[in-house]
Amino acid sequence: MPENKSNFMVINLSKEHSLVSNWVSELRDVEIQKDRMRFRQNLENIASVAAYEISKKLAWVEKEVATPLGTAKCKVMAQQPVLATILRAGLAMHHGLLKFYDRADNAFISAFRKHKHDGSFEISLDYISCPAMENRVVIISDPMLATGSSLVKTIQFIRDVGMPSEMHIVCAIACTVGIEYVLRSAPHATIWCGDIDDELTAKGYIVPGLGDAGDLAYGIKVQM
């Protein structure tokens, strides 16, 4: 069941056992992680389930559709959402969302941790490509919600472009600390998680988590 907190909701898709629980267990498994294609597919699957669940919350309108034998009154989405993903780790989840919202507009944000010599980091936004955001439903995908810093910076940018009417965040694993930080910045957002962990290390990694989702999905990167 959703966890209600004032104006927002946090939904743990693994709270009621389903296929999502299986996919999350495979994402965490160090042996199964060796199969990059399977890792990406599991991220995509979780995002697809979230896409379906989010669709229940969207605005719908009635439409008459001509069939070979007459006319049917159907419900269709009032407006396509904007799918925003944080590169590069979010790409697999973006594909999962795009399967369901195949006519959606898309936004891509390159937000990453720029590490310092003292072990701390700052979030760098190097690339942004997006449509108009004003009064749109925006769905942001990022596999790991750890400290929440990348998401908060992304949300701030989106609001500079235009204030969305509704915001959903889709992730595979979220940390309670990051959830609280994001929702202080976006109190009306809904967060959809494959699972939720409570521990965050001093370096900002989720425990038990699953490791670096970007590296596991697309290969190890050179630290800049």
Is the link from the previous residue into 143 a cis peptide, with omega within 30 of 0? Answer: no
- Surface-to-core class of residue 91, CB atoms within 10 Å of its CB (0-12 exposed, 13-18 middle, 19+ buried): buried
CATH class of the structural domain 3-206: alpha beta
Q: What pLDDT was estimated at residue 223?
A: 64
Query: Residue 136: its pLDDT value, please?
Result: 96
**Predicted local confidence at residue 118, as pLDDT:** 62
pLDDT at position 110 is 85
Q: Are 195 and 24 in contact (CB under 8 A)?
A: yes
Instruction: Copy the structure tokens of residue 184.
Output: 């202080």
C-alpha span between 155 and 141 (Å, rounded): 12
The reported pTM is 0.89
Q: Choose among 111, 213, 103, 206: nearest CA to 155.
A: 111
Tell me the torsion sign for CA atoms 146, 173, 13, 42.
positive
List, for residues 105-150, the tens digit of each pLDDT value: 999 998 766 655 665 556 677 778 889 999 999 999 999 999 998 8
Q: What is the pLDDT of residue 117?
A: 63
pLDDT, residue 221, reads 77
Check if the beta carbon of residue 128 is closer than 8 Å to that of residue 108: yes
Residues of the chain where predicted confidence (pLDDT) is lower than 70: 1-8, 112-123, 223-224
DSSP H helices, 115-187, are 149-161, 176-185
Position 46 scores a pLDDT of: 98
